[in-house]
Amino acid sequence: MNGLKFLLLTLLAGSLTGCPRNKQKVGKRVGLLPEMSTVVSIAITNAKIWTGNDSLPWAEALAVRNDSIVYIGSQAGLQPLLDKTTQLIDAQGNMVTPGFIDCHVHLLEGGYRLTAVQLNEATSKADFVKRIANYTPTLSKNAWMTGGNWDETHWGGTLPEANWVDSVTGGHPVWLNRVDGHSGLANTAAMKAAGITAATPNPAGGVIVRDAKGNPTGVFRDNAMSLIEKVVAPVTEAEKDKALQAAMDFIASKGVTSVHHMGTWDELAVFRRAHQNNNLKTRVYANVPLETWARLRDEIAQTGRGDSWLRIGGLKGFADGSLGSHTAAMKKGYTDAAKNKGIFVTSLDTLYQQIGLADRADLNVMIHAIGDKSIFELLYIFEAIDLENGDKDRRFRIEHAQHIDSMDIPRFAGLGVIPSMQPYHLIDDGRWAQKYIGAERAKTSYAFQDLLTSGAKVVFGSDWFVAPPTPLEGIYAAVTRRTLDDKNPKGWVPAQKISLEAALKAYTKDAAYASFEERIKGTLEVGKLADFVLLGGDLTQIAPENLRNVPILMTVVGGRVVYQLPKPVQ
């Protein structure tokens, strides 16, 4: 990185600060809007509509024809557009918002986990083992047990071990992920299948947790996880299709209409199959691994970037690990483990090379970085590439951006880098993070307000399967910062609370910007896609601590109702 920083300083010396960025053209949707006299197919009336559009922030009614909004405004202005064929929905004074956009999900994995063993709420070793024992009989012969989402902080911090579960898993190989996705637990059968022994070395960017004698305990961290994952039984195409449909149904019930999927080429094939069969009910911005940038470049040259249902063009890479696994790269040692500063799971030189090449190919790059050291270095890389490759509307993203050095906060806005963050994580991590990083570094953990004040365009997501894909819980988290254990009623680091409107924009208007789709969605305006959510209340009139309890009454994607809250049985 010394050579990189020298290059950056050289480029800076020959550049002018504050140069305007060239606007990259974003394709407009094809087709003409219907004339305003045309009868509409669906209409919302008697609503409090938050549009996200600064020129018309509130409205009473909207109308849809096909997949687009053709009217938004007053109740009176809607009447001439209606006839007996229009599906009329009386909102009864409830609030309507643009459809929520989740900027960071692992969609198929989330679908698989809906039916997997559930360990996130296990509160003791005994509870952990019991849940696994109860799930074992549901497995078919020779099947792997996967899923899990365990969190050792729920039972005091002791990591699980293979010998906890060997006796209750009936010989089935087990691979259970930690809640952050950066560690996993393998039982003895799984380690045997992978050929893991005491002699197996730690791979670069990964750790095999061992006992005092050097034997693997069953926990594998970051890049070491691939040692087990490579032998896990493959999922069939039918299982993938089923997982996708389950995932879309689930997130529709939470008001999510679009996702930014962080995944693989195989998963992209699943989305394409669903799209070809007209089975998509969620809009997908499908991102593939950074190291495959050349393949993505060639794919776009041959087939284009997709349409309003399925879009490609983004690349996801990794800088470091996670705070919970003590693998997030920090400038100083962890407060509870002073010699440990975390790890870089991808070398900085490799990141610099791959991001630079991808950027020259006009691809959208987003990199996972959680610790203050990885964020610091990544911003240097982005700045160097910005200067080296020339001005353009590149919209670099840092995924998670959880623990930022205060000196680096203004650099996001200055470089046009988007912090893509997950507010649910803060109310989870806030229970224990200060123990790991201390009070001073906690002041700029999940620094939503400081980033917004500096001019950064903050966008929100969930990181599902790691956290629930529930935007209203995310809004609640960003507005209140009340941790899940209820021990911070005034909020963990309350100075970083943000307004309701700012949280809504991070899930809608600005989220669409993060995928270069702000011209077609993210706000409710004539000509944009008819993606919206009907809520069971008015968020502006509800106490912040109750925001997460507001029901989703209806979710509409492209003018089609994809979810409706079931009526209670009489």
pTM of the model: 0.85
Q: Is residue 314 part of a domain?
A: no
Give the per-residue pLDDT at 263: 97
Residue 63 lies in a domain: yes
- Residue 121 domain-assigned? yes
Residue 37 has what pLDDT?
A: 42
Count how many Cα atoms sit within 13 Å of the Cα of residue 334 in the half-sphere of its side chain.
Answer: 21
Residue 250 lies in a domain: no
Q: Clarify whether residues 93 and 198 are in a common domain.
A: no
Are 95 and 117 found together in one domain?
Answer: no
- The enclosing domain of 552 has a CATH number of 2.30.40.10
**Chosen domain end from 169, 195, 229:** 229
pLDDT for residue 21 is more than 70:
no
Q: Which residue has the higher pLDDT, 538 or 142?
A: 538
Nearest residue to 9 via CA among 409, 376, 383: 383
Could you tell me if residue 69 is inside a domain? Answer: yes
CA 176 to CA 119: how far, in whole Å? 9
Over residues 510-535, the mean pLDDT reads: 98
**Within this chain, do residues 78 and 52 fall inside the same structural domain, yes or no?**
yes
Q: How many other C-beta atoms lie within 10 A of the C-beta of residue 437?
A: 23
Whether 156 maps to a domain, the answer reads yes
Please state the length of the chain.
570
What is the share, in percent, of the chain residues with pLDDT greater than 90? 86
In whole angstroms, give the CA distance from residue 238 to residue 491: 44
pLDDT for residue 12 is more than 80: no
CATH number for the domain that contains residue 164: 3.10.310.70
Whether residues 86 and 125 fall in one domain: no
Percent of the chain with pLDDT over 70: 93
How many separate domains does the chain show? 2
Domain match, 183 and 156 both: yes
pLDDT band of residue 116 (cuts 50, 70, 90) is confident
Spell out the alpha helix ranges (H) of 166-255: 188-194, 226-229, 237-252
Q: What is the pLDDT of residue 27?
A: 33
d(CA 509, CA 526): 15
Query: Which pLDDT belongs to residue 567?
Result: 81
154 φ, ψ (degrees, to nearest 5): -70, -20
Q: Which of 350, 294, 291, 285 is nearest to 314 (CA)?
A: 285
User: How much is the average pLDDT of 517-527?
Assistant: 98
Distance, CA of 456 to chain centre: 18
What range does the domain containing 196 cover?
A: 113-229
pLDDT tens digits, 180-196 = 888 999 999 999 999 99
Position 498 pLDDT exceeds 80: yes
Hey, how many other C-beta atoms are within 10 angstroms of the C-beta on 348? Answer: 17
Beta strands in 319-415 (DSSP E): 364-369, 397-400
| AA identity, residue 84 | K
Which structure tokens are listed for 113?
């986990």
Q: Find residue 145's DSSP bridge partners.
A: 174
Question: What's at 282, amino acid-wise?
Answer: T
For residue 103, give Cα distances in angstroms to 205, 452, 565. Answer: 26, 17, 24
What pLDDT score was predicted for residue 569?
A: 63
Section 257-276 average pLDDT = 98
Q: Are 185 and 150 in contact (CB under 8 A)?
A: yes
For residue 252, pLDDT beyond 80: yes
Sorting pLDDT into bands at 50, 70 and 90, what band is 10? very low
Please give the mean pLDDT across all residues of the chain: 92
379-420: pLDDT as tens digits: 999 999 999 999 999 999 999 999 999 999 999 999 999 999
Tokens found for residue 253: 């019930």
- Domain boundary among the residues 202, 229, 256 is at 229
> What region does 42 belong to: left with phi over 0, alpha with psi -120 to 50, or beta?
beta
Do 120 and 216 lie in a common domain?
A: yes
pLDDT at 115: 83
User: Are the C-beta atoms of residues 373 and 330 closer than 8 Å to each other?
Assistant: yes
The mean pLDDT of 279-288, rounded to a whole number, is 98
Best-predicted range by mean pLDDT (18-27, 228-237, 288-297): 288-297
Q: Is residue 318 part of a domain?
A: no
In terms of domains, do 68 and 124 share one? no
Q: Establish if 417 belongs to a structural domain.
A: no
Mean pLDDT of 76-93: 93
Q: Among 106-115, 307-316, 422-431, name the one with the lowest average pLDDT.
A: 106-115
Confidence band for 235, pLDDT divided at 50, 70 and 90: confident
* Whether 95 and 137 share a structural domain: no
Q: Which of these ranges, 1-10, 61-70, 121-130, 210-219, has the smallest mean pLDDT?
A: 1-10
**Burial of 158: CB neighbours in 10 Å, binned 0-12, 13-18, 19+:** exposed
Task: Name the least confident of 10-24, 241-255, 400-414.
Answer: 10-24
Answer with the one of 229, 255, 270 that is the final residue of a domain. 229
Q: Are residues 117 and 211 in the same domain?
A: yes
Whether 151 and 197 share a structural domain:
yes
**Does the pLDDT of residue 517 top 60, yes or no?**
yes
Asked if residue 156 and residue 126 are part of one domain, the reply reads: yes
DSSP, collapsed to helix, strand or coil, labels residue 349 as helix
- Six token digits for residue 245: 């449909």
CA distance to 40, 168, 428, 434, per residue, from 120 (Å) = 46, 19, 11, 21
Say yes or no: 183 and 218 in one domain: yes
- Sheet containing 61-65: which strands, arranged edge to edge? 68-73, 61-65, 42-45, 87-90
What residues have CB less than 8 Å from 543, skipping those under 6 apart? none
